[in-house]
C-alpha cells in the first residue's frame, strides 16, 4: 500500500483513517506523557538530607542562607545543608549575609559567614536585598540604607506606606500605597519617579528591577490591576509594555526577571505569565495553588517551579513556550528552589533534596 502514490478512492479513505489514527496516537501520547519529543530533561535525585539532626550553628563553611518557613538553613552551593535552626526575630538573609533584631540589647545585629559585621542600636526591622542592607521604620513609612560597615548611606521618610521594594547593584526601587514608584541611587538621590496610572485605585503591589538596571517591572493599581515594564531612557524610566489583568488580589503577588532581563514573569489569577522582553511573546502556564518558588535554567530554557497550597506542593518543569514537561506532587508546606550548575536543590520543610538535570 502506498500512502502517497496514485490510489483508488477506497485506498484514499483507508489512508485517511490511518492518518487520523496516527494523529490520535500522538495526541494520546502527549496527553499521557506531556514532555518534549526531542531531548528530554530529567531531574534525577542525587541525595536527600534531613535537617533535623543538623547543628544550630555553622561548624563548616556555607555559601547560602535561606529562610524556610519559621527556620533558617545554611547550605553549601552544592546544596549540602550545614546548619538548621529556628529563625531569629525579624531575621532577614541574603547569600551569606544575615540580620536580625536582638530584643535583649534592642539592636539589629548584622553578620556574614565570617562573623558579625556591625550592629544598629534601636533599629528593629532589617532587610537584605541582594548585597544591599536596609532597615524599615516601625510603620513602613521610612527606609534607610547602610553600607556593609554600618554607615548610613541614606534615609527617606514618606507619607505613604512602602508596599514593595527592589534593588539592583546601584538603584533602589520603592513602591508605595499611593501608586508611585521612586528610584534612588546609592546616595539616596532620586533618579526618577513614576506613577503608572490607568487604574481607579493607584497602588504598587510588587516591583522588580533587572540585574543590569535597565528594566523595572510593576504590578500596580486596582480596577484594573496592571502589569508594566519600564525601560531606562537617557534620564528616567518609561513604560514600554503594559497589560491589564483580571487579577483582583489586594496583596502582592509574584513578579520578577528570569535569565537576566530576558524574561519577565508574574502571576495573575491562577496563571504564571512568562513574557519574552525581546519579542513581547507571552506564554501562560496554569498553576495549581500559589507559586512558592521559581528558577530558570538558561542553557536548557527550562522553568522549574513549585506551586501548591498548605502542605500540598507540586514540582513543575516547563519549557519557556509554556509546555509542561514534568509534574510531580509532594508534601511540604515551605519550599524553595535554587540551582547550581546542573544541580537543582529543593528545600522542603526540613529536608533538602539535591537533584541533577540529565538530558537523554
Choose the stretch contacting another protein; rule: CB under 8 A; options: 20-28, 48-56, 119-127, 349-357: 119-127
Binding residues for another protein restricted to 279-318, rule: CB under 8 A: 290, 292
Contact indicator for 327, 314 with CB cutoff of 8 Å: yes
CA 253 centroid distance within chain: 10
Structure letter (DSSP) for residue 17 = H
Measured from the CB of residue 305, what is the shortest distance to another protein in angstroms?
14
198 in contact with another protein (CB under 8 A): no
- If one asks whether residue 248 binds another protein (CB under 8 A), the answer comes out as yes
- From the list 198-206, 232-240, 257-265, 337-345, the region that binds another protein by CB under 8 A is 198-206
Is residue 171 a contact point for another protein (CB under 8 A)?
A: no
Q: Does 350 bind another protein (CB under 8 A)?
A: no
Question: Residue 132 in contact with residue 185, Cβ under 8 Å?
Answer: no
Q: Which is nearer to another protein, 43 or 68 (CB)?
A: 68
- Cβ 292 vs Cβ 313: under 8 Å: yes
Nearer to another protein, 165 or 216 (CB): 165
Q: Work out the angle at residue 95's Cα, subtended by the Cα atoms of residues 94 and 99, and round it to the nearest 5 degrees.
A: 45
| Contacting range for another protein; rule: CB under 8 A; set: 26-34, 45-53, 149-157, 257-265 | 149-157
Q: Which grid coordinates are listed for 36?
A: 518534549
273 near another protein, judged by CB under 8 A = no
- Residue 139 in the binding site for another protein (CB under 8 A): yes
Residues 54-83 binding another protein (CB under 8 A) are none
Q: Does 165 bind another protein (CB under 8 A)?
A: yes
Element (H, E) at 216: strand 215-222
DSSP per residue, 298-349: TTTTEEEEEEEETTEEEEEEEETTS-EEEEEEEE-SSEEEEEETTEEEEEET
Assess 155 for contact with another protein (CB under 8 A). yes
Closest to another protein by CB, 84 vs 125, is 125
C-alpha distance across the termini of the chain, in Å: 35
Nine-digit cell string for 228: 508594566
Q: Does 125 bind another protein (CB under 8 A)?
A: yes
Could you tell me if 329 and 312 are in contact, meaning their C-beta atoms sit under 8 angstroms apart? yes
Q: Which one, of 52, 116, 119, lies nearest residue 84 by Cα? A: 52
Cβ 215 to another protein shortest distance, Å: 18
Pick one of 40, 78, 157, 280: the residue that binds another protein (CB under 8 A).
Answer: 157
Instruction: Give the one residue of 58, 243, 253, 288 binding another protein; rule: CB under 8 A.
Output: 253
Looking at the Cβ atoms of 124 and 351, the one nearer to another protein is 124
Q: Are 239 and 277 a contacting pair, CB within 8 Å?
A: no
The span from the CA of 16 to the CA of 345, in Å, is 49
Work out how close the CB of 4 gets to another protein at its nearest, in angstroms, rounded to a whole number.
56
3-state secondary structure (DSSP) of residue 181 = strand
Residue numbers at the binding site for another protein (CB under 8 A)? 90, 92, 122, 124-127, 136-141, 154-165, 177-178, 188, 201-203, 205-206, 222-223, 248-255, 290, 292, 334
Amino acid at each position: 500500500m502506498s500512502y502517497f502514490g496514485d490510489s483508488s478512492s477506497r485506498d484514499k479513505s483507508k489512508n485517511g483513517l490511518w492518518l487520523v489514527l496516527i494523529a490520535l496516537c500522538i495526541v494520546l501520547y502527549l496527553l499521557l506523557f506531556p514532555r518534549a519529543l526531542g531531548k528530554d530533561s530529567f531531574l534525577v535525585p542525587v541525595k536527600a538530607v534531613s535537617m533535623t539532626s543538623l547543628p544550630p550553628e555553622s561548624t563548616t563553611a556555607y555559601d547560602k542562607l535561606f529562610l524556610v518557613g519559621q527556620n533558617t538553613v545554611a547550605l553549601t552551593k552544592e546544596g549540602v545543608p550545614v546548619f538548621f535552626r529556628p529563625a531569629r526575630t525579624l531575621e532577614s538573609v541574603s547569600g551569606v549575609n544575615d540580620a536580625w533584631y536582638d530584643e535583649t540589647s534592642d539592636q539589629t545585629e548584622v553578620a556574614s559567614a565570617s562573623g558579625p559585621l556591625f550592629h544598629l542600636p534601636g533599629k528593629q526591622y532589617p532587610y537584605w536585598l541582594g548585597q544591599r542592607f536596609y532597615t524599615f521604620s516601625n510603620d513602613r513609612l521610612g527606609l534607610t540604607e547602610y553600607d556593609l560597615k554600618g554607615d548610613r548611606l541614606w534615609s527617606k521618610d514618606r507619607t505613604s506606606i512602602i508596599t514593595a521594594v527592589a534593588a539592583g547593584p546601584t538603584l533602589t526601587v520603592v513602591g508605595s500605597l499611593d501608586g508611585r514608584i521612586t528610584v534612588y541611587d546609592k546616595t539616596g538621590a532620586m533618579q526618577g519617579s513614576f506613577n503608572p496610572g490607568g487604574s481607579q485605585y493607584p497602588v504598587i503591589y510588587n516591583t522588580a528591577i533587572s540585574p543590569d538596571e535597565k528594566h523595572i517591572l510593576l504590578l500596580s493599581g486596582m480596577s484594573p490591576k496592571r502589569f508594566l515594564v519600564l525601560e531606562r531612557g537617557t534620564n528616567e524610566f518609561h513604560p514600554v509594555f503594559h497589560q491589564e489583568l483580571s487579577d483582583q488580589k489586594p496583596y502582592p503577588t509574584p513578579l520578577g526577571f528570569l535569565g537576566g532581563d530576558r524574561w519577565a514573569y508574574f502571576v495573575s489569577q491562577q496563571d504564571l505569565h512568562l513574557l519574552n522582553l525581546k519579542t513581547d511573546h507571552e506564554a501562560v502556564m496554569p498553576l495549581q495553588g500559589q507559586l512558592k518558588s521559581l528558577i530558570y535554567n538558561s542553557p536548557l530554557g527550562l522553568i522549574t517551579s513549585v506551586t501548591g497550597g498548605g502542605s500540598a506542593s507540586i514540582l513543575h518543569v516547563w519549557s519557556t513556550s509554556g509546555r509542561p514537561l514534568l509534574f510531580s506532587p509532594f508534601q511540604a508546606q515551605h519550599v524553595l528552589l535554587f540551582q547550581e550548575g546542573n544541580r537543582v536543590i529543593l528545600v522542603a520543610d526540613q529536608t533538602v533534596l539535591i537533584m541533577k538535570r540529565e538530558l537523554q
